Amino acid sequence: KKLEKLSKKTYGYDYKNRDKNLSTVSNFELCQDLSSFYQNINILSINIPLCDNTINFISDTEFNLMQPRTILINTARGKIIDEAALLRALSNGTIDNAALDVLAEEPPFYIDPIKCNYSHPFINHPKIFYTPHIAAGTYDSLREVAITMVKNIKKEVFNNE
């Protein structure tokens, strides 16, 4: 029911090919193969675990099947996407924008990002919205993230420490 409000048609794919009875969900189609899945979507949300079979699961071949201006969301694991292929897909317009909270090689979480000089082409890319993957953060680390975020906002918005 919630999918009906989101889109006229929602497509899914189960990479483990488990038998699912989703025929009762209106406007939902469980694709039997990845080619038809990629050809039909205009928003891709990645929700699969990282294992040997899913490293670089999405690369040039998959991007080339997608419609132009597809939106990519990855909150799973960074290594599921071939990062060089994603940069090419962003450059040629296959991917319009990407929202990521994971990278293939994550920045060190225990060092102030300003002090560690961490560099990655996705962090300042104009078509990528990147946030750190902090779902498993401890209370103390989440508290530090919140304090740092407020300080950075105050500094940038109000020119205030």
Residues annotated as catalytic are: 77, 106, 133
Half-sphere exposure of 131 (CA within 13 A, CB side): 11
Task: List, in sequence order, every beta strand (DSSP E) within 66-145.
Answer: 70-74, 95-100, 128-130
Check residue 108 and report its DSSP letter: P
Give the sheet arrangement for strand 95-100, strand by strand. 43-46, 70-74, 95-100, 128-130
Is 66 in contact with 39 (CB distance < 8 Å)?
A: yes
Residue 121's Cα: distance from chain center in Å?
15
